[in-house]
Amino acid sequence: MRVELIEPFLRAAYSVLESLVQDTPERGALAIRETTFTTQQVTIVAGVNGDVEGTVLYGMSLITAQKIASGMMGMPLKEMDDMAWSAISELGNIITGNAVNLIHQSGFTCDITPPSILRGMNMQVSTHVPALVVPMITKFGRLEINVALSEALAKAA
């Protein structure tokens, strides 16, 4: 697992959270997960393809998702309606897009897939490499970023 493929996601997450919801998260202890699965109630799934390929998961509790969506929309939300789900999906899209732009600066060409949202815990997402799990503690709750990326075989050769 190459640091230059992981670190852009951390930088992007910090930057996006500071910009969108005026929060500076704290990073928790890193872990490696051989199998990528959701441990949270809400998980944003974003794909990366090109010279770098794989999956990034952004997991959080339903309460954290609602608080983040409220912060993004600038008003308190009583429930997760369609606009709130769209905001949470866009959070994953913005973080992943910013991270891929940083990866481009390292000489890799890659794109992202539109994010999807999984609702429910302990669902497995198939990945071809182990994930580095980076918990981020925000004022809204815990956001867990799982980065399972590797260089594509053609680029590595």
Stated pTM of the model: 0.92
pLDDT in tens, the chain (157 residues): 677 888 999 999 999 999 999 999 999 998 888 876 677 899 999 999 999 999 999 999 999 999 999 999 999 999 999 999 999 999 999 999 999 999 999 899 999 999 999 998 888 887 788 889 999 999 999 999 999 999 986 554 4
Write the CB contacts of 41 (distance below 8 Å, at least 6 apart in sequence).
Answer: 60, 61, 62, 65, 119, 120, 121
For residues 116 and 93, the answer to whether their CB atoms sit within 8 Å is: no
- Domain 3-150: assigned CATH number: 3.40.1550.10
Closest by CA position to 24, among listed 140, 146, 134:
140
Query: Domain residues of the chain, as ranges?
Result: 3-150
Closest by CA position to 32, among listed 125, 117, 147:
147
